[in-house]
Amino acid sequence: MSISGLFLCTFLVVHVVGNLQLFKHDQGAAFNAYSHFMGTNPIIRTIEWVLVLGFGFHIYEAFALVRRNKAARGHGYAQWKAEQNSEWTSRNMGLLGTIILIFLIVHLYNFFWRARFGGLEKIGGDNPEISDYDNLYLAVVSSFHIWWYVLLYVAAQISLGYHLWHGFRSGFQTLGLNHRKYMPVIKYAGYVFSVVVSAAFASMPLYFYLFTNEQGELAANAPSLIHAVTSAF
């Protein structure tokens, strides 16, 4: 459980860094080029299967861990005051994981499935080198203008933040790295990691929903600070 979880943390870093291409003011050229590379490079395609296995194993182990814990206890507690014995995140990892799983299914269908098996528009244009690229940028921007999808996306990122906050430090503890000298650093690193990653992901749908039109162009009412920050990309 801990090894698969920490492995998936590396995927989150790669994924969020790549998705930052969305903020470039180039009508999606950089993001579409990045998406095309990720979808056609044979090494990346091979790693995708490793990633799928990682997700599958992590989800399976979550259910198996719950069953093993219940079986080991044998019967319910006569008196149970959970808030005195554990943190909210540890008691609700199942709920947080379920929200993330629901989002993941919708997210994969909306982007990954359509990109791999058709359903996306082509870029077109006069440049033959990129004219047959899928216009995934347009699909992303369109989705980020659907209120319920934005709500689901942000809720999933909040859940991800809490999930990472507990899972990151618990993963190191499970691997036997629970040392009084190093654990405070691991806890702090886990807190920073969970906040930065989840906030970065959540900022994407919020940015497009609040400050751009359905073509991804900044709206006239977008604050000047937004113009300055996105221009830096």
Give which of 151, 155, 115 is closest to 133, Cα–Cα: 115
Q: Which of 55, 57, 63 is CA-nearest to residue 10?
A: 55
Q: Is the pLDDT of residue 202 over 70?
A: yes
pLDDT higher than 80, residue 161: yes
Residue 82 has pLDDT above 70, yes or no: no
% the chain with pLDDT above 70: 81
pLDDT of residue 217: 79
Q: What is the pLDDT of residues 49-74, one digit of tens each?
A: 888 888 888 888 877 877 777 776 65
Q: Which of 57-61, 149-153, 198-202 has the lowest mean pLDDT?
A: 57-61
% residues pLDDT > 90 (the chain): 21
pLDDT at 207 > cutoff 60: yes
What is the pTM assigned to this prediction?
0.80
Query: What is d(CA 173, CA 186) in angstroms, rounded to the nearest whole number?
Result: 10
In the block, tokens 């033959």 appear at: 128
What integer best gives the mean pLDDT of the chain? 81
The arithmetic mean of pLDDT across residues 158-174, rounded, is: 81
SS (H, E, C) the chain: CHHHHHHHHHHHHHHHHHHHHHHCCCCCHHHHHHHHHHHHCHHHHHHHHHHHHHHHHHHHHHHHHHHHHHHHHCCCCCCCCHHHCCCHHHHCHHHHHHHHHHHHHHHHHHHHHHHHHCCCCECCCCCCCCCCCECHHHHHHHHCCCHHHHHHHHHHHHHHHHHHHHHHHHHHHHCCCCCCCCHHHHHHHHHHHHHHHHHHHHHHHHHHHHHECCCCCECCCCCHHHHHHHHHC
pLDDT at residue 31 tops 70: yes
- Helices 136-143 and 29-40, packing angle to 10 deg: 110
pLDDT higher at 45 or 90? 45
Burial (CB count within 10 angstroms: exposed 0-12, middle 13-18, buried 19+), residue 131? exposed
For residue 175, the SS3 value is coil
Higher per-residue confidence, 45 vs 219: 45
pLDDT at 85 over 70: no
Q: Say how far apart CA 91 and CA 210 lie, in whole Å.
A: 34
CA atoms within 13 A on the CB side of 170: 16
Average pLDDT over residues 200-209: 94
Cβ–Cβ < 8 Å for 149, 135: no
User: Which residues pair with residue 212 across a beta bridge?
Assistant: 218
* Lowest model confidence (mean pLDDT) among 39-43, 58-62, 70-74, 201-205: 70-74
Q: Taking 90 as the threshold, does the pLDDT of residue 169 lie above it?
A: no
Given a cut of 60, whether residue 81 has pLDDT beyond it is no
pLDDT at 125 exceeding the cut of 70: no
pLDDT at 195 over 90: yes
Q: What is the CA radius of gyration of the chain?
A: 20
Mean pLDDT value of segment 158-168: 86
84 pLDDT higher than 70: no
Higher pLDDT, 81 or 71: 71
Task: Label residue 125 left, alpha or beta by phi (over 0 means left) and psi (-120 to 50 means alpha).
Answer: left
Number of residues written out for the chain: 233
